[in-house]
Amino acid sequence: MSDPILTWCKSVVTITPARWNSLVTSVPLELLTRPPAPGEWSALDCLQHLVEVERVSYPVRLKALLAGQPFPGFNPADSIKPPPTPALAVEFEELRRANLTLLDQITPADLDRQALHAEYGMVTMRQFLHHWAGHDLMHVVQAERALMQPFIQGCGPWVVNYTDHAVG
């Protein structure tokens, strides 16, 4: 059986912009900007991070892996960001469209290409694609977890159903 990661990754990373567009056009700003707990990211903070990664990390990593060239690590704390707004969903969609064009160039023969990551050592394209899809899903889950908190806090006796999702 062939490795399904190209199909799996494309299926996840292609739909992520629509998921964010749906959230930011449907959910009130007050909820989108509400962190689940002090020091944690709100839904819009998660989107802001995805925009930054989409702009400065993913295209660099894809190109480096295809060329077998080393690439730097990425630390979200290293940049200064303006306050996040729902308009970031449009920017995310545009950036993702460009990165999907790069992703479309990857073939099964490229999955074992390697490059040196400044933090993690040698990594493969296959590993990066797993990371990319997982990263998208993780931050959508994180955003939805932030959105859940006021509902969990207000649901009275049903709170027992949310022990895996409640913060603090």
- The pLDDT value given to residue 62: 96
- The pLDDT value given to residue 88: 95
Question: What total of structural domains would you count in the chain?
Answer: 1
Bridge partners of 122?
Answer: 116
The domain spanning residue 41 has which CATH number?
1.20.120.450
Residues 88-134: tens digit of each pLDDT = 999 999 999 999 999 999 999 999 999 999 999 999 999 999 999 99
- The pLDDT value given to residue 84: 87
Within-domain flag for 99: yes
Side chain identity at residue 34, one-letter code: R
- The pLDDT value given to residue 77: 79
Within-domain flag for 61: yes
Within-domain flag for 16: yes
- Exposed, middle or buried: residue 66 (CB in 10 Å: 0-12, 13-18, 19+)? middle
Query: For 113, phi and psi rounded to 5 degrees?
Result: -60, 145
* 40 alpha-carbon distance from chain centroid: 16
Q: pTM of the full predicted structure?
A: 0.93
Within-domain flag for 13: yes
Distance, in Å, from the CA atom of 25 to the CA atom of 20, rounded to the nearest integer, reads 8
Domain that holds residue 142: 5-162
Geometric angle at alpha carbon 117, from 114 and 121, rounded to 5°: 80
Residues of the chain with pLDDT under 70: 1
